[in-house]
Structure 1
């Protein structure tokens, strides 16, 4: 009888010990998980001192803001490429900046326009070209379609042209010349046609 009581107590102690061990393991895992979440959330919080007063600034997830950066990069490239003034140094400066944002497809279009005398015609006619972005469509495959209107102001007339281009976007390391870290690839113009031609009084 005494032996049975001892065996029962040993079993009970074993069960209690095992249960306590499992409980301790569960508590440790739970504490570690919540501690990890707390540290992760703390790393997303950045404090900026403003006159020795700490101000909380939240760190955002880069991927959440990536579509906006894609659109900004596409808009910047097209503005550099299609908004021009009759100044050869300015045109050269614009094209140089634009080429940092695109692969050889951008350089190919630039060279084609140059060979056709496009930039010389801007200088000779004293044309001022401005681009208005209508919309930029993005697809999950990182393909984009740009829709805009280009206004060409000449001494004799104002011409409005529709502009539709497409290409692909590739993530690259950010740099001083490419702050968004986006490279436009396989870029081509789908449409560039006159919408209106308004003559000006020349007297």
Structure 2
């Protein structure tokens, strides 16, 4: 069985080369381009022959340019206990990330919609985990509420897909769209809480 090129000798150098190609692709995407492997190689100062050893086609390159955010939580170090306040903090940070990485996320969405896409970049589910983290106190106060289902519902009304619709279709500015995304999250939380009674000791 053949061994992938990047897994053979000089691992650190190859990791740097791959990183340079990915960063070049991200820069070109941010500038509004739809970079090919050759264009990313030129921008990174790497030969096209070498670039193709890492990325055999444009799809592989653009998929690799999807932002990799390692944070497991978007809450601050000492978050509030109130779920609504926690959710607003997470949605503010999530929306900022969406706007900061908008060109790359738009490309990832396009790749996800292509026929035959085997590992669409947007199916990682990290945002759902961030939202669930914000809603954690509800596990104690509202045990009958399905936190994961609520997080999925909130994610479905936020993120790059909703941003694109609000800006490209509804014609909102990015500031207006960002506020709408946060409002949608708050509205879904309020609706869920309205349908589920808290524990007896939690009622005012």
Q: Which TM class, normalised by the smaller chain length?
A: under 0.3
- Normalised TM-score (structure 2): 0.26
* Larger proportion of helix: 2
